[in-house]
Structure 1
Amino acid sequence: MLASLALLLGLPLALAAEAPSCTPLVPVTFENSSLPQIQGLWIYIAGASKYPPHLEELKGLKYAAFIISQGNHEDELNVTEIMRVNETCVVKNSKIQVVRHNSTLVHVSEEVNSMAKLIQSDKDALILNIVHDEYAGLSISARTSNVSKEQMEEFKAQMHCLGFTEEEMFFMSEKDACPLPEEMTEDGDTEKQQVE
């Protein structure tokens, strides 16, 4: 899902009154030390996509968080996604395959397989450049529900470089947050929560 990939950011651009100078997105080169750094809880902050299935998903998404952990294999990550889609909280478990030779993350889902490149950033921001043929897409996630003003300005500048307007960007709302798995009741139930 887009929210899982929506993980990485922090681009060396500044939002200016005039058109920003667009620098190429630099993907992370995956090494053994790279993968543990992206594990843990991430809160999806904002994103945009020109790919029709992702765009439809973003229109209904009000909040998303995801937890990344090591999978059964060296180049496999487990992902637990916690999302509010319209008025319902949904929890999904899925996998991400790490393709080291081209620095790509492949999110394997029943709905849509997605590919993204993790963009170099700081340890508290996760920017994903969604890779899908001619369709652009970018997302930012963070360790908390906020990013710095500078990080958001850099993200918006890169979005403009990819041809997105402010109106095409989807921002999540903390007021629509769903309970995280550890916040669920002992029997695993939370009001209006579906597990898929």
Structure 2
Amino acid sequence: MGSAGLLLVLGLAALLPADAAPCGAQRPDSSTAAQLLGTWLYVAGAAQFPQHQVEMLLIDHAFLRLEPGAGGQELLVSHYVAVGNQCFTNNLTYLEVAAGNATLVKHAKTQQTEGMLMNMSSENLLLIQYQMQKERTYLGQYLYARSLSLSTADKEEFEQHVECLGLRAEQIVYPPWRTEVCQVKEAEGSDSPHAEPAAAATAAPAPGTPWPGSAGN
């Protein structure tokens, strides 16, 4: 699916109601927003449909950069995705962290909800769950972490979230991180890494390549 078609799907997608937390999992709220700032490395993803699994295999590595928004109730999300020898960027989503509300992923232009953050046992793990609906429901789980080193317990926990959505462990794709097209370097004077694209960036990945967590039907 091309980038224009992908954005169209995202604009038309309808998510579960904001108060519907699948599998009984609690979602982070504004009290934990500060812990989300910084860079999150894409370490695993699971998608419902085979074509989305194939698309995820095109991604060598990816990460998110979360920064505070101007209004104080949003965290701006910058995506970095390496496909082939190019580093693509996108900043059309943000996390809504209004007091008393669950943290949701929203599209900046359409204001439509695209996903929700789910709690993990470690503050160094970030799980985004998608359950979008168009002609048919699209299910996906995408795991980000502060480092690429996942423990066996971390992987098992992610598999449990995947299976809770009705997906299978065999549908999980782990990006290889073979190149350094999109570089992640330690920020000077900080314990959190920051993103530094090593190649010219563009607004969307190559046709047929999704952002992790944003594939349409």
Task: Give the structure-1-normalised TM-score.
Answer: 0.69
Question: 1:190 aligned to 177, 198, 202, which one?
Answer: 198
Q: Post-superposition shift, 1:141?
A: 0.7
Q: Is 2:135 aligned against 1:137?
A: no
Which residue of structure 2 lines up, in the alignment, with residue 116 of structure 1? Answer: 115
Paired residue for 1:157, among 130, 144, 160?
Answer: 160
Deviation per CA, 1:5-63, whole angstroms, max 9, x where unpaired?
xxxxxxxxxxxxxxxxxx924132412x3211111110011112237996675243221
From 77, 80, 103, the equivalent of 1:79 is 77
In structure 1, what is the equivalent of residue 92 of structure 2?
94
Classify the secondary structure of the residue corresponding to 1:175.
coil
Unaligned runs of 5+ in 2: 4-21, 187-195, 204-217
Does residue 34 (structure 1) correspond to residue 32 (structure 2)? The answer is yes
- Aligned match of 1:24: 23
Q: CA 1:189 to 1:166, structure 2 compared with 1: closer, same or farther past 3 Å?
A: closer
Say if 1:27 and 1:117, in contact at 8 Å, map to a contact too.
no
Q: For the Cα contact (< 8 Å) 2:76–2:95, is it kept in 1? A: no
Q: Which amino acid aligns with 1:176?
A: T
Task: Please state whether the residue corresponding to 1:72 is helix, strand or coil.
Answer: coil
Report if aligned partners of 1:145, 1:174 keep a CA contact under 8 Å in 2.
no
Q: Distance in 2 between matches of 1:110 and 1:48?
A: 26
Identity of aligned residues (%): 23
Flag the 1:182–1:141 CA change in 2: closer, same or farther, 3 A: closer
2:106 maps to: 107
In structure 2, the partner of 1:44 is 42
Native 8 Å contact 2:39 2:146 kept in 1: yes
1:6-25 equivalences in 2 (<5 Å) = 24-25=23-24
Deviation at 1:76, TM superposition (A): 1.6
Cα deviation 1:133-181 (Å, max 9, x = unaligned) = 3322111110011221101011113212322234422211222343337
TM-score, L = length of structure 2: 0.63
CA distance in structure 2 between the partners assigned to 1:56 and 1:102 by the alignment = 35
**Does the 8 Å contact 1:51/1:132 carry over to 2?**
no
The CA distance in 2 between the partners of 1:60 and 1:66, in whole Å, is 18
Q: In 1, are the aligned partners of 2:74 and 2:97 still within 8 Å (CA)?
A: no
Matches within 5 A, 1:45-64: 45-50=43-48, 57-64=55-62
Q: Equivalent residue for 1:125? A: 125
- Aligned-residue CA RMSD in angstroms? 3.3
DSSP 3-state at the match of 1:136? strand
Q: Which residue of 1 aligns with 2:209?
A: none
